[in-house]
Amino acid sequence: MIKIQQDLFSIRQICESGQCFRLRPMEENRYSLVALGRYLELAQEGDAVTFYCSPEEYDAIWKNYFDLDADYGRYQDLAHSGSAYLIEAAGFGRGIRILRQDLWEMTVSFIISQQNNIKRIKKCIDFLCERYGEKKYSGDKAYYDFPKAAVLADADLDGLCACNLGYRSRYIRETARSVRDREISWDSLADLDYADAKAELMKLSGVGTKVADCICLFGLHHLDAFPVDTHIRQVLDKEYPDGFPYESFPGFSGILQQYIFYYDLKKGEISQ
């Protein structure tokens, strides 16, 4: 295992922020994560974080995955130059970081997210992984990898519907076939800028503006992507009737989106 000291990093806030659906609480201050084909447990007490993996695995995978080299203090300072609402939201969600997640997993996950809530999304993804993902082991701990596009491309709709995906079943299979058959520039998406990547993603079945922005932010790490769902739309209408000042936060408005989303979602439930 490896222990680090890290400010502006809260596993709990990231877990609850709606960007990662396979990061789960196990017990007080301890979490499990299935990502990038691996299983990880981690724990946090204040700024002290313990990763239950080798130092080599932490350096090669998890430090980048959790975006721990990025200067979120700078983002906090810039956010605090905004409106009173934004200052409050940024302070409330100060432990959130934008994870560097797998592009394919984010594509399917946010297709599932349409007209859905976080609890149900997690259940759908669990069903999907258990039915179509590869079973793996970390020591004596069994877990399921996220299913590959080629596997979902050949899935029958009844099997997908059995994962509680409903109308999204067809979207997922058609998207998997588009990726498998290289109907979009999938392999070069990471090399495209935000606007071009978003336009390419919107060629996929079931991927509209909001889902494409989520994939860009959480799967391609385009920090200027600003997904607008029902929560965010209500906040924008109330707090920014003349429009959100994106130009004041070039290149990182997606981080502010996460602060706002988390604040709107959780402010009535928890105290900081």
Q: Bin 49: left if φ > 0, else alpha if -120 < ψ < 50, else beta.
A: beta
Catalytic amino acids? Answer: 210
Q: How many CB atoms lie within 10 A of CB 70?
A: 18
Those residues whose C-beta lies under 8 Å from the C-beta of residue 115, and which sit 6 or more positions away, are none
Q: Which among 254, 263, 260, 266 has a CA at the least distance from the CA of 214?
A: 254
- Strands of the sheet with 23-27, listed across from one edge: 2-5, 48-51, 38-45, 30-35, 23-27
| Cβ burial, residue 271 (10 Å; 0-12/13-18/19+) | exposed
Of the candidates 173, 174, 219, 229, the residue with the CA atom closest to the CA atom of residue 197: 219
